[in-house]
């Protein structure tokens, strides 16, 4: 029996040099040429269609979002193969880095069948979500699609269901951010709504379950896409959109900003930033002025954003849902390099009262922070709930209860500071000690009671005041009312009683607010967030 000679290493190198290596084989050369042509033609077609509308292509958006040269595309030619019939699908999927941290990203390609979702696109997104769950990394979806592929019928709808399923599985495990950069209609709108944050561009994005044409045919209402489901509407009226961006660059920049405060998963810690003595001195100097920003009269308005900015690192507060339910403020900030969630009443808007929208805004934000291990610092200046039939009929009882559930079930460090006043049920729900906060403080003279002094006196001494009015006249009744208000304020509303029963841990001077918060967070850093084992599956929170 004869055998072929086995080439030596030197012979192999010589053979490769002679021109028959895989590097320049006929198959490799043909592959390079074919892929170069397919990729070039696809990107040229995408650029022609998208740039004419002032929009970027799917791959340009990914390049703008991720750190340079970090994108690894997965499944580029899924559905067609990489042979002679190679063509891209309607979605680009893969992995990359943002500030050096790994993320999963998909970007719908409107230049391919309007970015419509079918079996191929659905499979790619589902695979990416499965990988993100397995790898425990954030997911960013760049949405620009005409919806489901009609020709695929229920098969396309099935893919939406599979995506919804994976998105729900990822909720609370890894951060999920949706960026609406074009149309998002029908069943497709629900996936962004299931994610943690929705960002939309002011001009180009639209979200609606049924579009203007359907609305017109069914109800007779003539409405534009912008007025029905533009970013402005969803940012300020419905609350679906958490950040309204001026353009695509602003939208993608906001993704990077949000991720800077968030952990990659529930199992990881949030980033901790370097914070030196010069930073501390600059912030301490600013924090000493915070008391001058707040009027002593509880009836005089001020901007609580200025207050928060005065006490957080570098004055930086990244608001969430800034244009929705503006009577409360929520967002992210840092204390000595540690990211936290911020919650505050906004006296500039409706005196900072709580209503149905504000309640849901607060509750969802607190629950998000709790899910991902971010401490919550709450600044309270609230006169109560907004009164009226409109609020009652809109479900203030049911929807307000969501705030209670969010704070009561939270296991992260909770620090609360009452600035001027906190009345009634609104006091209880805004991170009170009784509901579960760890450390609670207030400024001198803070009014903490069931009602404001005037309201309380009007109820408690109604008959006495009526008697004085009938016997001595209106002037005497007014004087008596003022005396009773001062007496009630002195004996009931001042913070002494709250301190005495342990609802307030200490009265602090305004200029000490930052220091107290920093020390509190340090003390609570080792808080064990594990709940006792329980047979129940989950809370039945009012929805």
Q: What are phi and psi of 373, to 5 degrees?
A: 75, 25
Cα–Cα dist 42/504, whole Å: 64
251 catalytic residue (yes or no): no
Instruction: Provide the CB-side half-sphere exposure for 58 (13 A, CA).
Output: 30
Which pLDDT score is estimated for 91?
94
Residues 86, 426, 437, 456: which is the catalytic one? 426
Say whether 282 is catalytic. no
Q: Which of 211, 425, 436, 455 is catalytic?
A: 425
Q: Which tens digit of pLDDT belongs to each residue from 198-252?
A: 999 998 899 999 889 889 999 999 999 999 999 999 999 999 999 999 999 999 9
Is 425 a residue of the active site?
yes
| 426 part of the active site | yes
Q: What is the pLDDT of residue 247?
A: 96
For position 157, what pLDDT does the model report? 92
Please identify which of the residues 114, 115, 146, 186 carries the catalytic annotation: 186
Q: Which residue has the tokens 């353009």?
A: 247
Report, as ranges of residue numbers, the positions in the chain whose pLDDT lies below 50: 1-2
Cβ atoms within 10 A of the Cβ of 357, count?
A: 19
Q: What is the pLDDT of residues 36-80, one digit of tens each?
A: 666 666 666 767 778 878 889 999 999 999 999 999 999 887 765
435-465: pLDDT as tens digits: 999 999 999 999 998 877 777 878 888 888 8
Catalytic residue among 75, 79, 172, 187: 187
Q: What is the mean pLDDT of the chain?
A: 90
Residues of the chain above pLDDT 70, percent: 91
Report, in this order, helix, strand and coil percent for the chain, each rounded to 5: 50, 15, 35
Report DSSP letters for 137-160, one per residue.
Answer: --EEEEE----B-GGGTHHHHHHH
**Sheet harboring 91-98: ordered strands across?**
72-73, 91-98, 101-108, 139-143, 176-180, 197-201, 243-245
């Amino acid at each position: 029996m004869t055998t072929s000679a086995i080439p030596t290493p030197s012979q192999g190198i010589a053979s490769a040099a002679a021109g028959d290596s895989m590097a320049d084989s006929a198959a490799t050369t043909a592959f390079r040429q074919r892929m170069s042509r397919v990729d070039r033609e696809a990107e040229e077609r995408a650029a022609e269609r998208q740039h004419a509308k002032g929009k970027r292509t799917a791959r340009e958006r990914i390049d703008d979002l991720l750190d340079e040269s970090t994108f690894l595309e997965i499944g580029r030619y899924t559905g067609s193969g990489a042979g002679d019939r190679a063509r891209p699908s309607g979605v680009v999927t893969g992995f990359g880095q943002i500030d050096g941290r790994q993320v999963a990203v998909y970007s719908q390609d409107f230049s391919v069948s309007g970015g419509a979702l079918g079996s191929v696109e659905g499979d790619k997104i589902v695979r990416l979500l499965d990988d993100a769950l397995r790898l425990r990394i954030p997911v960013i979806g760049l949405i620009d699609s005409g919806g489901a592929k009609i020709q695929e019928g229920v098969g396309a709808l099935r893919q939406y269901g599979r995506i919804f399923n994976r998105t729900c599985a990822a909720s609370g495990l890894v951060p999920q951010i949706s960026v609406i950069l074009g149309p998002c209609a029908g069943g497709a709108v629900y996936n962004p709504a299931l994610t943690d944050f929705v960002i939309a561009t002011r001009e180009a994005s639209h979200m609606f379950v049924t579009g203007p044409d359907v609305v017109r045919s069914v109800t007779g209402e003539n409405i534009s896409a912008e007025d029905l489901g533009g970013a402005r509407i969803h940012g300020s009226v419905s609350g679906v959109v958490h950040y309204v961006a001026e353009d695509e660059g602003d939208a993608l920049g906001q993704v990077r900003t949000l991720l800077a405060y968030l952990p990659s998963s529930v199992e990881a810690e949030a980033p901790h930033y370097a914070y030196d003595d010069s930073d501390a001195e600059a912030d301490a100097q600013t924090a000493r002025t915070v008391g001058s920003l707040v009027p002593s009269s509880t009836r005089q308005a001020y901007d609580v954003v200025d207050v928060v900015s005065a006490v957080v690192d570098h004055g930086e507060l990244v608001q969430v849902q800034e244009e929705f339910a503006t009577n409360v403020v929520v967002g992210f900030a840092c204390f000595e390099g540690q990211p936290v969630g911020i919650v505050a009443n906004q006296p500039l808007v409706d005196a900072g009262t709580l209503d149905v929208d504000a309640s849901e805004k607060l509750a969802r934000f607190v629950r998000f922070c709790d899910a991902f291990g971010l401490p919550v610092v709450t600044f309270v200046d609230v006169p109560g709930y907004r009164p009226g039939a409109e609020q009652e009929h809109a479900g203030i009882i049911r929807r307000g209860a969501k705030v209670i559930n969010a704070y009561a079930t939270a296991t992260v460090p909770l620090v609360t500071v009452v600035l001027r006043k906190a009345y009634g049920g609104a006091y209880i729900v805004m991170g009170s000690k009784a509901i579960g906060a760890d450390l609670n403080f207030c400024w001198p003279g803070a009014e903490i009671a069931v009602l404001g002094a005037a309201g309380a006196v009007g109820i408690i001494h109604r008959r006495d005041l009526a008697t004085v009015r009938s016997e001595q006249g209106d002037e005497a009744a007014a004087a008596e009312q003022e005396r009773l208000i001062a007496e009630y304020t002195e004996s009931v509303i001042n913070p002494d009683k709250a301190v005495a029963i342990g609802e307030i841990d200490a009265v602090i001077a305004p200029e000490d607010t930052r220091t107290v918060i920093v020390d509190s967070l340090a003390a609570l850093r080792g808080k064990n967030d594990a709940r006792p084992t329980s047979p129940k599956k989950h809370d039945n929170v009012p929805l």
